[in-house]
Amino acid sequence: PFKPFKPFYMETTADIMIRKTTNSRLKEVDFDNLEFGKYISDHMLVCDYAHGEWKDPQIVPYANLSMSPSALGLHYGQTVFEGMKAFRMHDGSINIFRMDKHYDRFVRSLQRMCMAVVPKDIFVEGLRRLVELDKDWVPSKPGHALYLRPFVFASEARFGVKVSDEYRFVIFTGPVPSLYADPIKVKVETQYIRAAKGGTGFAKCGGNYGAAFLPTQQARLEGYDQVLWTDGIEHKYIEESGMMNVMFVIDGKLVTAPLSDSILDGVTRDSLLTLAQDLGFKTEERPVAVAELEDAFKKGTITEAFGAGTAAVVAPIKTIHINGIDYSLPQYDANKLQFKLKAGLENIRLGVSTDVHGWNYML
Ligand code: COI
């Protein structure tokens, strides 16, 4: 298990011990050329669970972790993460977007994977203190953000197949641009599936991402950027796109698959549905059949398709491959709904428009 670091200068805030770095890496960051996942901020939070208790959360300089090769999470897949963002607003203040909704999903994911649930105060206070400490890492360019990566893995050193009795909770952060600004080509996947009924599709567990790599790699070899996942029973209904929820504009309505045990309850998905309704657009959360998309392309009633996720916000789709045919979406311009929604979200996050839904957790 994690051994408390020897503090060499510390301050206690709430119940989180903080040891600051004496050697910031901030100067190494090129904020004009950020790449998603490349830079990691100066500090991380670490907290261990053992004997039924989460104890002694600490914020320490970002560094490698020491762990046993037999840590259960490495073998049997008890790993869960969240993906969140902190934004710098126009007036310089910083907010963390929809902290509560992310926490609730984190809990559902942990419960599905039979893992110890991180108490809300450690999650919230840990993120708050960490972002505050590394506030100079929060980019100020619109669309850019400080990505926050809370995660838990089974840390018990034992190779018998069992539910772990020990866990480690870690949060690290890093400045990011938004992913996938250019429209992408996707392929309706009818051989592999992302999630099965009764499976873990709604949970943000590492295995869901690992299992998606092979089909995605195959789609790339065929000239596509991502797959459009279909349901695990008949490959008849569209579920998600790549590692995001997927939305369509059909007959002027914003349409997306309903939440289920095979769909991730995306925070961006929920935010865009809400903003579309605020703008007076009709939204529908209902099964979207592959055949309906084919039909809509033939009739010209589908005008937009896009992935929705925290990393990309929206990922415009320009081509959908269905049953041997590449269907093209009409050319996108700034007036398309997806860009209005993206701008609407950005305006709330930057403090340009009023946060009527209470989504910004202000530092
Ligand atoms: C997101 O869209 O934010 C994701 O879940 C992708 C993440 C794994 C980078």
**Mind listing the pLDDT tens digit for each residue in 115-163?**
999 999 999 999 999 999 999 999 999 889 999 999 999 999 999 999 9
Which pLDDT score, from 0 to 100, does residue 334 have? Answer: 86
Ligand 1 within 6 A of 244 CB? yes
Contact 148, 37 (CB under 8 A): no
| d(C-alpha 171, C-alpha 128), whole Å | 11
Using only C-alpha atoms, the chain has a radius of gyration, in whole angstroms, of 21
**What span, in angstroms and rounded, lies between the C-alpha atoms of 216 and 221?**
9
Q: Which amino acid is at 279?
A: L
Mutual orientation of helices 99-112 and 120-133 as an angle, nearest 10°? Answer: 130
Task: State the burial class of residue 331 (Cβ atoms within 10 Å of its Cβ: 0-12, 13-18, 19+).
Answer: exposed
Whether 180 shows a pLDDT value over 70: the answer reads no
Looking at the predicted structure, is the pLDDT value of residue 1 above 50?
no
Under a CB-based contact definition with an 8 Å cutoff, are residues 59 and 7 in contact?
no
pLDDT at residue 181, rounded to an integer? 73
Is residue 83 in contact with ligand 1, taking CB distance under 6 Å? yes
pLDDT for 4:
44
**Whole-Å CA distances, 57 to 43, 79, 134, 251:** 13, 19, 17, 51
Closest to 112 measured CA to CA, from 67, 158, 163: 163
How far apart CA 269 and CA 306 sit, in angstroms, is 11
Q: Quote the percentage of the chain above a pLDDT of 90.
A: 93
**Any alpha helices (H) in 170-288, and if so which ranges?**
206-210, 213-221, 267-278
Which of 176, 267, 310, 314 is the best mutation target for the ligand 1 pocket, counting ligand atoms within 8 Å of the beta carbon and taking the most?
Answer: 310
Do the beta carbons of residue 198 and residue 260 sit within 8 Å? Answer: no
Under DSSP, the state recorded for 135 is G
Q: Indicate whether residue 310 lines ligand 1 (CB < 6 A).
A: yes
Q: What is the CA angle 207-186-329, rounded to 5?
A: 145
Percent of the chain with pLDDT over 70: 96
Please give the distance, rounded to the nearest whole angstrom, from the Cα atom of residue 5 to the centre of ligand 1: 31
Q: Enumerate the β-bridge partners of residue 242.
A: none
pLDDT at 277 over 60: yes
Confidence band of 166 (pLDDT split at 50, 70, 90): very high
Q: Which of 55, 46, 1 is nearest to 166 (CA)?
A: 1
Express each pLDDT in 224-249 by its tens digit.
999 999 999 999 999 999 999 999 99
Give residue 2 CA to ligand 1 midpoint distance, Å: 27
Distance CA(72)–CA(158), nearest Å, equals 6
Q: What are phi and psi of 137, to 5 degrees?
A: -85, -10
- Measured from the Cα of 244, ligand 1's closest atom is 2
Tell me the C-alpha distance between 240 and 292, whole Å. 16
**8 A C-beta contact, residue 146 and residue 137:** yes
Residue whose CA is at the smallest distance from ligand 1 atom 2? 309
CA distance 178 to 314: 9
* pTM for this prediction: 0.93
Query: Where residue 179 falls among pLDDT bands split at 50, 70, 90?
Result: low
Residue 222 is predicted with a pLDDT of 97
Nearest to 306 by CA among 292, 317, 294: 317
In this prediction, residue 15 has a pLDDT band, given cuts at 50, 70 and 90, of: confident
Within 10 Å of residue 30's Cβ, how many Cβ atoms? 10
Per-residue pLDDT band for 10 (boundaries 50, 70, 90) equals very low
CA 257/CA 343 separation, integer angstroms: 23
Spatial distance between the Cα atoms of 66 and 44, rounded to a whole number of angstroms:
14
In the block, residue with structure tokens 């090129």: 30
| Alpha-helical runs (H) found in the chain | 72-76, 99-112, 120-133, 206-210, 213-221, 267-278, 290-299, 337-350
pLDDT at 9 over 60: no
Query: Is residue 212 lining ligand 1, measured as CB closer than 6 Å?
Result: no
Atom of ligand 1 nearest to the CA of 36: 9
